[in-house]
Structure 1
Amino acid sequence: MIRRKQSPTALNKRGTKVYLDGFTFDSQKEADFYERFIKSCGYDYDVHPRYHLTDLTSIGPVKVPSISYTPDFVVYDEAGRIKHVYDVKNSFGVYGIDGSVKLRFKLFALHEGVPVEAVVVRKHDFKAKLQGTTKSQKEPLVTHSVDYEWTELI
């Protein structure tokens, strides 16, 4: 059963929280992506794992906070290596992916050695596009499953 709860912040661009299978999703699109493409993909996966990217650092009398990143989904291959890191977005433009998010994507790729794939969920498929890399990808990959390699997005 899907339960919805209105977000407490008026500035939340992602919509209402959705509760499904013991997970809390930030939006209906994220829950749909989980239910349609992740849940029965045949691979091991994590929902909202947290990655610590930088440490709290002292600079003289002040401190610079640590940086963490929590992707929506991480899918692992048969050997347990990261196959895909997914972040569900409304669009690939500035509204969907702002500068602070792009920075986290870059830091994650440097830290883990795998780029983040932004995905836009559609009615019967999803579009995937690499983020935080120098290779230009003019058109996103349109696919019906997670059974591809992220290198195909280049």
Structure 2
Amino acid sequence: MRRIILWFMGTVSAVVFLFGYSTSTAGPGVVGGQTAVFSSGTSTTGGAASGGTDPNAGSTVTGTVAQTRWGPVQVELTVSGGAITQVSVLQYPDSNGHDRQINSYALPILVRETMDAQGANIDMVSGATVTSRGYLESLQSALDQAGL
């Protein structure tokens, strides 16, 4: 009789823990209109005459949107003199706390590696494989458009 009561209580506890675990139901997505938080590079600010163009400013190319399992990823590059001067991530999965935690770690690494490699020959970030693949897809698209 005692074993039956212990078994029953253990089963009830397991069911309570199982149904008490909260998960995200928001699904993949991007906060609308959000500008990239993750960018790196040297940008030229100021110094241009009013009405003129800055001769040091590079051209900006935007990669295609890579649809991933957790949401879209899109990269924008600024290229000057055949070199990548800035990388910005325009879209990335951030619809829940787990996405934000992973991408706040992974995206700065991907951006830094892109700047160091000056191309798409970079390693994926462990634990952020889906975002890394989307980033590389969009990055390659932007590099193709820039002719690099």
Tell me: higher relative CO, structure 1 or 2? Use CA pairs within 8 A at least 6 residues apart: 2
Structure with the larger strand share: 1
TM-score (norm 2): 0.29
TM-score (norm 1): 0.28
Structure with the larger helix share: 2
Look at both structures and tell me which one has the larger radius of gyration over its CA atoms. Answer: 2
